[in-house]
Structure 1
Amino acid sequence: MKFRFSHFEFDCEALILTNNGKVFSLNEKPAKLLALLLTNAEHIHSKDEILEAVWPGREVTNQVVFQSIGHLRALFGDDAIKTFSRKGYQWQLPLSEVTDDEVKHEAPPIAETSNQTQSDASSSNSPEPVPVDDIATGTSKPAWPLAAATLLGLLAGAYFFV
């Protein structure tokens, strides 16, 4: 299934996010969470349901759900996902399903590349990650603060889990 919201499109099977036709890198777990939220947008998804769908059979802390929700909110805005206290999370942005006919008439999206060398470009088929603020606002702030905060959260979760 493929969904359109705002100026984004997301392919839930291939886990590919596009913004105005340009492919953007999205990590696997937030992409799986986004697919879950979009495919059943009218449902409120509990943390346990999310953990089972996105991290099946793995023992992880609730912190990973908070981090993934935070990552998606950074991409799509705080209003994209609503938190229901003690119940879970639900997708809020207007959403439409992209039909097969629409997909056939569209040109395939072209991934943006930066100043990669020819050898780098040929060795990697995936698009280069784009800073989160580039996707949401068009500004060019560095992505390292989000990456550092995510790493810190994962380390803290691992410390308490062990």
Structure 2
Amino acid sequence: MKLTFQDFEFDCQNLALSKQGRKIGIKEKPAMLLGLFLTDPQKIYSKAEILEHVWPGRTVTEQVVFQNIGHLRALFGDDAIKTFSKKGYQWQLPVQPSEPVVTQPEASEPNPLPASAPVAAGSEQVPEETQGLPWKWLAPLAALIIGVAVVALMA
């Protein structure tokens, strides 16, 4: 399930965050916490519930909850998560399901294999979501994403 808020989109299944179509690097635990908040934004989550969901079966201090809440507030603003004294935390930004994005291949790039075309034995059909992608940009794009993630981790 993909959810949107502000200019962001979050893929709850893949724990992937993007802003205006550009992938944003986010560590696993803050992403899990964000997924928890976004799936039920009206709920106030106690520290115990957060620990159980994000760090199941592990003994960690409550400090990791504070750190990860701080990380999400740094990304989305201090008003994104409200603290309820002795109760827990609640997501504050409006959330809505993401509309599926349907992309059409560009006219200059013919579809390499029509959906109804038979597939020869030993060959594989190009997945529908990758048809029409400009493959020559894949390596530089991957390098850019990795570079941004490294810079974000070092910050």
Q: Under a length normalisation based on structure 1, what TM-score does the superposition of the two structures give?
A: 0.67
Task: Select the structure of larger CA radius of gyration.
Answer: 2
Alignment of 1:86 with 2:106, yes or no, is no
The 1:130/1:8 distance shift into structure 2, 3 A limit, reads: farther
SS of the residue corresponding to residue 100 of structure 2 reads helix
The sequence identity of aligned pairs, in percent, is 56
- Residue in structure 2 matched with residue 128 of structure 1 by the alignment: 148
Q: 1:64 to 1:89 in 2, by over 3 A?
A: same
Q: CA RMSD in A?
A: 2.8
Which residue of structure 1 lines up, in the alignment, with residue 45 of structure 2? 45
Off by >6 Å, runs of 4+ in structure 1: none
Contact 2:82 2:92 in 1 (8 A): yes
What are the within-5 Å matches in structure 2 for residues 1-162 of structure 1?
1-98=1-98, 102-105=99-102, 121=143, 128-129=148-149, 144=154, 147=155
Decide which structure has greater helix share.
Answer: 1
Describe the superposition over 1:10-66 as per-residue Cα deviations: whole angstroms up to 9, x where unpaired: 011110000000001100000000000000111000000000000000000000000
Mind listing any 5+ residue stretches in structure 2 that lack a counterpart?
105-128, 134-138
| Cα distance in 1 for residues equivalent to 2:29 and 2:20 | 23
In structure 1, what is the Cα distance between the partners aligned to 2:145 and 2:77?
29
The answer as to whether partners of 1:73 and 1:80 remain within 8 angstroms in 2 is: yes
Q: Higher relative contact order by CA 8 Å / sep ≥ 6: 1 or 2? A: 1
The aligned counterpart of 2:124 is none
1:126: how far off?
5.4
Q: Classify the secondary structure of the residue corresponding to 1:93.
A: coil
What SS is found at the alignment partner of 2:64?
Answer: helix
AA at the equivalent of 1:35: G
- Amino acid across the alignment from 1:128: V
> Whole-Å Cα distance in 1 between the matches of residues 21 and 55 of structure 2?
29
Letter in 2 for 1:129: A
Render the CA deviation track for 1:91-125: whole Å, top value 9, x for unaligned. Answer: 00011111xxx3242587x9xxxxxx97x94xx98
Aligned positions, number: 122
In the TM superposition, residue 128 of structure 1 has moved relative to its aligned partner by 3.3
